[in-house]
Amino acid sequence: MAGKKTRLVTLEQQMATEGFWGDQAMAERVSREYGTLKQKIETWTTLRDDVGVIEAMMQETDDASSLEELGNQLKELEAKYNVLEVNTLFTGAYDGLNAIVSIHAGAGGDDAQDWAEMLLRMYLRFAENQHWKTSVLMESRGTEAGIKSVTVQISGERAFGHLKTEAGVHRLVRLSPFNADALRQTSFALVDVIPEIERDEDVDIKPGDVRIDTFMAGGHGGQSVNTTYSAVRIVHIPTGMTVQCQNERSQAQNKESAMKVLRGKLLQRTIEQQRQEIAGIRGEVVSAEWGSQIRSYVLHPYQLVKDHRTNYETSDTAKVLDGQVMPFIEERLRQVASEKSSGTA
245: left (phi over 0), alpha (psi -120 to 50) or beta: beta
Q: Let me know whether 13 and 101 are in one domain.
A: no
Q: Let me know whether 153 and 8 are in one domain.
A: no
Q: Let me know whether 136 and 260 are in one domain.
A: yes
Query: What's residue 44's pLDDT?
Result: 82
Query: What's residue 32's pLDDT?
Result: 83
Q: Let me know whether 33 and 77 are in one domain.
A: yes
Q: Let me know whether 264 and 248 are in one domain.
A: yes
The pTM score is: 0.73
Which sign, positive or negative, has the C-alpha torsion 137, 140, 146, 148?
negative
Contact 150, 139 (CB under 8 A): yes
Query: What's residue 251's pLDDT?
Result: 86
Q: Let me know whether 159 and 270 are in one domain.
A: yes
Query: What's residue 283's pLDDT?
Result: 37
Query: Domain limits at 73?
Result: 2-87
pLDDT per 10-residue tile (average), the chain, 345 residues: 82 90 86 84 87 91 89 88 83 89 90 97 98 93 90 94 95 90 89 83 80 75 53 91 84 88 86 64 42 90 97 98 97 91 67
Contacts of 172 (CB under 8 A, 6+ apart): 115, 118, 186, 187, 188, 189, 296, 297, 299
Domain boundary among 87, 117, 133: 87
CA 23 – CA 25 distance, rounded (Å):
6
Query: What's residue 277's pLDDT?
Result: 63
* Phi, psi of 140, deg, nearest 5: -120, 110
Q: Let me know whether 187 and 317 are in one domain.
A: yes
Query: What's residue 282's pLDDT?
Result: 33
pLDDT digits (tens, 9 = 90+) for 155-177: 999 999 999 999 999 999 999 99
Query: What CATH number is given to the structural domain containing 148?
Result: 3.30.70.1660
Q: Let me know whether 278 and 208 are in one domain.
A: yes
Helix (H, G, I), strand (E, B) or coil at 193: strand
Query: What's residue 291's pLDDT?
Result: 62
